[in-house]
Amino acid sequence: MNALAAPITRLQSLDAFRGLVIVLMLLVNAAGSDPAFPGWFSHRGWNGGEMGIGLADMVYPWFLFIAGVSIPFSMHRGRGATLSPPRRILASAARSLRLYLLGVMLVAASMAYDTGIGPSVLLRWDILQMIGLATLLATCAAHLPRFGQWLSVVAVLIGKWALLTRCPMPGRGEVVWTATESAQAWIRTEWGWFGTALTQGLPAMAVAIIGSIAASELLRPEQRSATGRASNSRTRLVRMGVILTVGGLAWHELGGLPMSKDFFTSSYVMFTSGTACLMLAAMHELFDRRGFSAPAMLRHFGTNSIAIYVLAELVWRICLTRWLVSSPDGSFSTAFAAGKAWLSHLTTPTIGAWLAVAAYIVAMWLAARALHVRGWFIRA
């Protein structure tokens, strides 16, 4: 891996990007499939085999990308700069375990209402568990030379393409790819927890590795601007984003491999990683180089992203979608649905839906702001 020769300063752009992803997560989760919101907000799913992506499908890979961007920071500043590679990997493993257990807690919060909590809660994959796994694997890959990191990404992209489009499904003797049947689905069913770790965890790792590579490109100008390499480094980051974005889109449109969050296809990895590169490059130019101040909401969310994510998920899973509250027509609905119904009753259905989502986002922002004002920055 390329060594970074000088101390690394905190990037305002990274906090802003984290904050933006949190806002998008709150927005699309609360909006759901409500017709008051644009159709491109929603998760695409199988979509008759065409698949594709909506705004909701961008949130998860952008989380993964940002986790990867953070790897060079943790490895080359503070205590991380003094650790040997094995110790760095152990430290990453400890953080990944904490993320995994936080994810287990969120799964348990949902299961407590449905089936009850049992030992199986430890073997359920969710967002935080997968981010923890991807970050650990990407940290290991970060100790490879740059060529080795890209080789890991390419191997995953080719492997996932082959699994979905070239590998016969066991028991069928032919390549099958439907909403419920595929070689990937067979692996996840037969191999359980480990099968999901392979089929979803390795593409997640690829996104995180790309984030780590992007950070290395992004940080280079901060240390070498006097040599004239700053412009070249920024250009390489933008070029990487354009190549990945266009490549993923072309694979989706022309290459017979649709973008899909559910199947975590290679085109999806490329497109979402590429757009994340471009978003980070734009924010870096605005907030780190040109000196514009990132919006307070983004900074507050970005500096406590894990805490707000966990809080928002707990509130959503335990309160807003479970508690029953009286609606204007006298029936009882979940707290969020009832609140939206009352706001719609006082205004219009469209305005009421937007006001309900805005209230949810503002409530989470007030919690993030309270943490920020007190100087409480909670890390996994």
3-state secondary structure the chain: CCCCCCCCCCCHHHHHHHHHHHHHHHHHHHHCCCCCCCHHHCCCCCHHHCCCCCCHHHHHHHHHHHHHHHHHHHHHCHHHHHCCHHHHHHHHHHHHHHHHHHHHHHHHHHHCCCCCCCHHHHHCCCHHHHHHHHHHHHHHHCCCCHHHHHHHHHHHHHHHHHHHHCCCECCCCECCECCCCEHHHHHHHHHHHHHHHHHCHHHHHHHHHHHHHHHHHHHHHHHHHHHCCHHHHHHHHHHHHHHHHHHHHHHHHCCCCCCCCCCCCHHHHHHHHHHHHHHHHHHHHHHHHCCCCCCHHHHHHHHCHHHHHHHHHHHHHHHHCCCEEECCCCCEEEHHHHHHHHHHHHCCHHHHHHHHHHHHHHHHHHHHHHHHHCCCCCCC
Q: Which residues pair with 177 in a beta bridge?
A: 182
Residue type, 35: P
**9-24: b (≥16 Cβ within 10 Å) or e:** eebbbbbbbbbbbbbb
Residue 349: inside a domain = no
Residue 201: inside a domain = yes
Sign of the alpha-carbon dihedral angle for 262, 267, 273, 275: negative
Encoded tokens for 39: 């159709």
Residue 14: inside a domain = no
Sign of the alpha-carbon dihedral angle for 208, 211, 215, 216: positive
Residue type, 133: L
Residue 226: inside a domain = yes
Which of these, 23, 39, 22, 31, lies nearest to 356 by C-alpha position? 31
Residue 299: inside a domain = no
Contacts of 351 (CB under 8 A, 6+ apart): 343, 344
User: How far is it, in rounded angstroms, from Cα 30 to Cα 358?
Assistant: 9
Q: Which residues span the domain enclosing 272? A: 22-294
Which of these, 74, 96, 89, lies nearest to 140 by C-alpha position? 89
pLDDT of 172: 87
Q: Number of folded domains in the chain?
A: 1
User: How far is it, in rounded angstroms, from Cα 48 to Cα 223?
Assistant: 49
Please report, to the nearest 10 degrees, the dihedral formed by the alpha carbons of residues 39, 40, 44, 50 taken in order: 100
Residue 373: inside a domain = no
Residue 359: inside a domain = no
Helix 349-373 / helix 12-31 crossing angle, nearest 10 deg: 140
User: How far is it, in rounded angstroms, from Cα 274 to Cα 246?
Assistant: 8
Exposure of 16 in the CB half-sphere (CA atoms within 13 A): 18
User: How far is it, in rounded angstroms, from Cα 79 to Cα 77?
Assistant: 6
For the chain, 380 residues long, give each residue's pLDDT as a single digit of tens: 344 434 445 789 999 999 999 999 999 999 999 999 999 999 999 999 999 999 999 999 999 999 999 998 888 775 677 888 899 999 999 999 999 999 999 999 988 877 778 888 999 999 999 999 999 999 999 999 999 999 999 999 999 999 999 999 998 889 999 999 999 999 999 999 999 999 999 999 999 999 999 998 877 644 444 444 445 667 888 999 999 999 999 999 998 899 999 999 999 999 999 999 999 999 999 998 888 999 999 999 999 999 999 999 999 999 999 999 999 999 999 999 999 999 999 999 999 999 999 999 999 999 999 999 999 998 87
Contacts of 224 (CB under 8 A, 6+ apart): 230, 233
Residue 377: inside a domain = no
